[in-house]
Structure 1
Amino acid sequence: MKLYNLKDHREQVDFETAVKLGLGRQQGLFFPVKLPIIHSDELSEILKMDFITRSTEILSKFIYHEISKSELHKHVKKAFSFKHPIKTKITENIHCFELFHGPTLAFKDFGARFMAQMILLLNKKNESVTILTATSGDTGAAVAHAFYGMKNVRVIILYPKGKISELQEKLFCTLDKNIKTISINGSFDDCQKLVKEAFNDKKLKELIGLNSANSINISRLLAQICYYFEAFSLISEEQRKNLVIAVPCGNFGNLTAGLLSKSLGLPIKSFIACTNSNDTVPRFLKNGVWDAKKTVSTISNAMDISQPNNWTRIEELFHRKKWNLKELRFGSVSDSSTKETLKELFELGYISEPHAAIAYRLLRDQLKKNEFGLFLGTAHPAKFKNIVEKILKNEILLPDELKSRVDLPLLSHNINPVFSKLKKFLLEK
């Protein structure tokens, strides 16, 4: 698999190098040189496969010559060794596709665990690796658990202090061993900026074997394509004809993966890019002006991002496929509307959480006659227990994954968003 740097097309690397580097020169994201296509006859056969076999087949379309299919299958099986996504009916023409049945109760488990398997496979010399990543909520837990106890791998996770839920924090800030967490006195964008500054420090990067597990890493992105095919396999032939998928968007990796599934040949009619009040992309799609405002805190904290990294990949894909960006549906939802929507879903017999509620709201408002809609359930409502209970006046029971960690002490460090302080931590610890 050949990939090129979106900021410097002359820099081309193979899959192994892209996984290990995370980012290219000038902090550029890697993107596939070749966009494979699955034709309709092959697609019908792929859709009949079980989730692991199908995922192996899809990933091999990108990775092909570098990792044998049998080797890939082994690692995909280990990565996705948890309850697979399920589809839940909300109304006749709107269903939720639940992606939160993994070990950290969020869709991020797919990408993080596949990346961990790829690092394990590709680190043939057992070199020391430092994974530095920023989280706005769920990435941290998924990455921490995916790499927990892995030999020669140190994980440093940055998150905005006081801006993720208490239970999200408990999931990844109570592990220790090779997992170190730092709360940053600032926003997620401040955390992301620190990660980029670290990658810009060439000497530091080489010294500690720096890598990133955010959705900027190509291995995480490719893994997420797999569950869109699973979603398609779970709906009827009639529902497949006019399928619209609403995606809660923060760093836009999830939507990028969905669009890549469409590029591969999955006949999805349309996507809806769903954001909260941090609406840089919806405003850009509306008026053509990229105007990233200061990040504001919302009850859908994993989407509190004003400078989404993966947007450049989406623009590149639309350019390469000659698609029209005006055909991408979009919208943003305020906190007050999100709360109303959580109540509406509850009255329909479904307990949701803020991120999925935003996607449902926009899907409900934009779905046309004869269209069938799926909205992505990206996190278990128990991760937002306090918020959801307060809105719904209904108790949320904690699943075992959270119950086992709720009383453990937090082990996080704390620093201001100053790169010199982060660099000192990376070199000393």
Structure 2
Amino acid sequence: MKLYNIIDNSEQVSFIQATKKGLGSKQGLFFPMELPELNSDTIDSLLRMDFISRSCELILSYVGDEIVSNDLKNCVKKAFSFPVPIKYISNNISCVELFHGPTLAFKDFGGRFMAQVLSNIIDQDEKITILTATSGDTGAAISHAFHGMKNIRVVILYPKHKISTLQEKLFCTIGDNIETIAVESDFDTCQSLVKMAFNDIKLKKLISLNSANSINISRLLAQICYYFEAVSHFPKEIRNKLVVSVPSGNFGNLTAGFLAKSLGLPIKRFIAATNINDTIPRFLKSGIWNPKKTVSTISNAMDVSHPNNWSRIEEIFSRKSWKLKDLAYGSVRDEITNSSMYELAKLGYISEPHSTIAWHVLRNNLKNDEYGLFLSTAHPAKFQDIVEKATGKKIILPYALSKCSTLPTLSYSIRPKYKILRDFLLRQSK
């Protein structure tokens, strides 16, 4: 698999190199040089397979012979060891639950697959520092996926006081090779600090820097797989009129959806659903790129004004000759998110804020001859107080949350200055 840097096209790397590097020069994201397309018979055959076997075939279609087939199968089997159920909401809408992994969010798919791939491809004496920013769920997925892995140090930045307490407890109580830093700012600033580190050539070499955000290509390939799994649950007559609504913050999830569609997965169209941090909906409406200051909301994982993966979406649309004006969108403020959680509860489904936004925008965009599917990306218990207040329903904490809820938080706290982060990375690595 060959990939090129979207900003610096002359930088071309293999899948293994892209997985190790994370981010290219000039902060460019890596993108596949070839976009495989599967015919309808192959797609039908894949949709009849079990999740693990199908996922191996899908990833192999990109990776080729860079990873031995048996090794890849072991990686996938260990990474995707939990179900992907469909829940029926109403006569023309369902959701796919992506939160049944160990950290109760869809990020488990990409995080665990990346961890398995890296453990398979790095040398025994090779040391890697993974630096990543999280707006809520990535931190937990990455920390649990890499915890205890020899020669891999993980440093996670997150916006202080701007993620839920239970989200924080899931990844800031682990310790060992997992270090967490609360930055006194917002997620966009955390993401900017990570990019500065990747622009620091000397630092990158000194600590072998890598990223586990959705900018890492291995995470994106993993996310393609659950789109196929979701579609496999539906009969053929529904597949051809399927509209998928994706709660969107950094836009990695939607990017994976478009890669799945590019392969040939029969999804009629996608909807990008955001909260009031609506850079993309405003851009799609006006054609003007005008990010505003990030606003804190109850759907904190979507509090992103500078979505990293948007450049990949523009790239795939250009390569496939698709039209951005065909991408539906919608943004939702907190009051509507709260009332929508209540409406969903009356329909018999308890949902957290991000997934609820996807449902609300889907319901408002769906046409009579279409069938809607929204991505349920996190367990409602991760937002216990918010969900209970909106729905009036008591949320029981799953074991994964209850066992860490009383543990001490081990995070460092820093001001949003790159020099402070750089000194931390060098000091702690000695």
TM over 0.5: yes
Structure 2 residue aligned with 1:15: 15
Q: What is the rounded CA distance, in whole Å, between the counterparts of 1:267 and 1:404 in structure 2?
A: 41
Structure 1 residue aligned with 2:241: 242
Structure 2 residue aligned with 1:54: 54
Report the 3-state secondary structure (helix = DSSP H, G, I; strand = E; otherwise coil) of the residue aligned with 2:234: coil
Q: What is the rounded CA distance, in whole Å, between the counterparts of 1:355 and 1:41 in structure 2?
A: 35
Structure 2 residue aligned with 1:229: 228
Q: What is the rounded CA distance, in whole Å, between the counterparts of 1:178 and 1:365 in structure 2?
A: 45
Deviations 1:289-314 (A, max 9, x none): 00000000000000000000000000
Structure 2 residue aligned with 1:398: 397
Structure 2 residue aligned with 1:65: 65
Structure 2 residue aligned with 1:301: 300
User: How many pairs are equivalent?
Assistant: 428
Q: What is the rounded CA distance, in whole Å, between the counterparts of 1:134 and 1:125 in structure 2?
A: 27
Report the 3-state secondary structure (helix = DSSP H, G, I; strand = E; otherwise coil) of the residue aligned with 1:408: coil
Structure 1 residue aligned with 2:216: 217
Deviations 1:324-354 (A, max 9, x none): 1111111100101101100000010110000
Structure 1 residue aligned with 2:371: 372
Structure 2 residue aligned with 1:207: 206
Q: What is the rounded CA distance, in whole Å, between the counterparts of 2:393 and 2:125 in structure 1?
A: 49
Displacement over 3 Å in runs of 4+: none
Structure 2 residue aligned with 1:332: 331
Structure 1 residue aligned with 2:144: 145
Q: What is the rounded CA distance, in whole Å, between the counterparts of 2:340 and 2:249 in structure 1?
A: 19
- The structural deviation recorded for 1:58 is 0.1
Q: What is the rounded CA distance, in whole Å, between the counterparts of 1:187 and 1:57 in structure 2?
A: 39
Deviations 1:241-263 (A, max 9, x none): 20000000010000000000000
Q: How does 1:95-244 map to 2 (within 5 A)?
A: 95-244=94-243
Amino acid at match of 1:329: A
Amino acid at match of 1:12: Q
Report the 3-state secondary structure (helix = DSSP H, G, I; strand = E; otherwise coil) of the residue aligned with 1:8: coil
Query: RMSD of aligned C-alpha atoms?
Result: 0.6
- The structural deviation recorded for 1:125 is 4.3
Deviations 1:395-418 (A, max 9, x none): 100001101101101000000110
Structure 2 residue aligned with 1:287: 286
Amino acid at match of 2:46: I
Q: What is the rounded CA distance, in whole Å, between the counterparts of 1:234 and 1:35 in structure 2?
A: 25
Report the 3-state secondary structure (helix = DSSP H, G, I; strand = E; otherwise coil) of the residue aligned with 2:372: strand
Structure 2 residue aligned with 1:387: 386
Q: What is the rounded CA distance, in whole Å, between the counterparts of 2:45 and 2:345 in structure 1?
A: 38
Report the 3-state secondary structure (helix = DSSP H, G, I; strand = E; otherwise coil) of the residue aligned with 2:223: helix
Deviations 1:87-108 (A, max 9, x none): 0010011001100000000000
Q: What is the rounded CA distance, in whole Å, between the counterparts of 1:315 and 1:224 in structure 2?
A: 18
Unaligned runs of 5+ in 2: none
Q: What is the rounded CA distance, in whole Å, between the counterparts of 1:35 and 1:290 in structure 2?
A: 27
Q: What is the rounded CA distance, in whole Å, between the counterparts of 1:238 and 1:397 in structure 2?
A: 38
Q: What is the rounded CA distance, in whole Å, between the counterparts of 1:68 and 1:48 in structure 2?
A: 24
Amino acid at match of 1:245: V
**More deviation in 392-401 or 306-315?**
392-401
Q: What is the rounded CA distance, in whole Å, between the counterparts of 1:196 and 1:261 in structure 2?
A: 27
- The structural deviation recorded for 1:394 is 1.8
Q: What is the rounded CA distance, in whole Å, between the counterparts of 1:49 and 1:286 in structure 2?
A: 40
Q: What is the rounded CA distance, in whole Å, between the counterparts of 2:68 and 2:258 in structure 1?
A: 26
- The structural deviation recorded for 1:393 is 2.0
- The structural deviation recorded for 1:237 is 1.7
Amino acid at match of 1:210: L
- The structural deviation recorded for 1:390 is 1.4
Unaligned runs of 5+ in 1: none
Deviations 1:253-301 (A, max 9, x none): 0000000000000011000000000000000000000000000000000
Report the 3-state secondary structure (helix = DSSP H, G, I; strand = E; otherwise coil) of the residue aligned with 1:10: coil
Q: What is the rounded CA distance, in whole Å, between the counterparts of 1:176 and 1:317 in structure 2?
A: 39
Give the TM-score taking structure 1 as reference length. Answer: 0.99
Q: What is the rounded CA distance, in whole Å, between the counterparts of 2:221 and 2:392 in structure 1?
A: 39
Q: What is the rounded CA distance, in whole Å, between the counterparts of 1:68 and 1:133 in structure 2?
A: 28
- The structural deviation recorded for 1:239 is 1.2
Q: What is the rounded CA distance, in whole Å, between the counterparts of 2:188 and 2:205 in structure 1?
A: 24
Deviations 1:356-400 (A, max 9, x none): 000000100000011000000000000000111111222100001
Report the 3-state secondary structure (helix = DSSP H, G, I; strand = E; otherwise coil) of the residue aligned with 2:10: strand
Give the TM-score taking structure 2 as reference length. Answer: 0.99
